[in-house]
Chains A and B, each alone.
Chain A
Amino acid sequence: DTGVSQNPRHKITKRGQNVTFRCDPISEHNRLYWYRQTLGQGPEFLTYFQNEAQLEKSRLLSDRFSAERPKGSFSTLEIQRTEQGDSAMYLCASSLGRGPRDEQYFGPGTRLTVT
């Protein structure tokens, strides 16, 4: 495993359905981040974890969104009762989380389309 992986790569769902995405970080990376990117914009921060602890959540993360990292390895992002405005690319990133250098490396993303 040489990079961050995300599954599925694409998800099409109907409005009102629940969806769950998975992110597997780079091995030994303690920090895991979720971002959302809409067309023509830069990624926007959603939340991040240090090991299994969720340290910060953006106001973008409404109560329909929940993220977990139960064993401090992979993470899941669930969206309940999806809305058309949730259509976006959901990006995961990970970083080593130790020492002063903490570059974030991104996965390929999950593209969500809500119809």
Chain B
Amino acid sequence: GENVEQHPSTLSVQEGDSAVIKCTYSDSASNYFPWYKQELGKRPQLIIDIRSNVGEKKDQRIAVTLNKTAKHFSLHITETQPEDSAVYFCAALKGVGGGTSYGKLTFGQGTILTVHP
């Protein structure tokens, strides 16, 4: 089955700096890669996702890059703010039915991001 490794497990940055979290996956057939942000005691919230037919996607201060050959993808947060502090999870999915995003998510272990004011 799919295996997702996430690094680093903890990341501490100063406000305004950039933060990068990296994930690798094992199943080359995986085609959908979402990132979730989970604040303490709250539900995981989808913040950005990327599909295997694109290499990069950006949404304001957040961007995700995907390298299918190397089977890794990364989350980039620029101009970090204290409210970005949370646990971030990457995930991978092998869509059933070809080209879809239906199916189970396999999550990484999470990265605790702390942004110091």
Chain A residues within 8 Å of B, Cβ to Cβ = 4, 31, 33, 35, 40-45, 48, 56, 58, 91, 95, 97, 100-109
Contact = CB atoms under 8 A, between A and B. Distances in A.
A42 B43 contact: no
Given A100-B100, A102-B32, 6 more contacts: A42-B89, A42-B91, A42-B107, A43-B105, A102-B100, A102-B102
B107 A43 contact: yes
A66 B89 CA distance: 27
Contacts of B107: 42-44
Interface stretch (B44-52, B62-70, B71-79): B44-52
B104 interface: yes
A37 to B, nearest CB: 8
Contacts of B4: 42
A85 B32 CA distance: 31
Contact of A103 (B34, B104, B109): B34
Interface string B23-47: 0000000001010100000111110
Given A31-B102, A41-B110, A97-B102, A91 B46 contact: no
Contacts of A42: 4, 6, 89, 91, 107-110
B43 A91 contact: yes
B101 interface: yes
A31 B32 CA distance: 16
Interface string B89-103: 101000100011111
Q: Name which of B43, B95, B103 has the most chain A CB atoms within 10 A of its CB.
A: B43
Contact of A48 (B32, B104, B108): B104
Contact of B105 (A40, A97, A104, A108): A104
Most buried by A among B4, B32, B99: B32
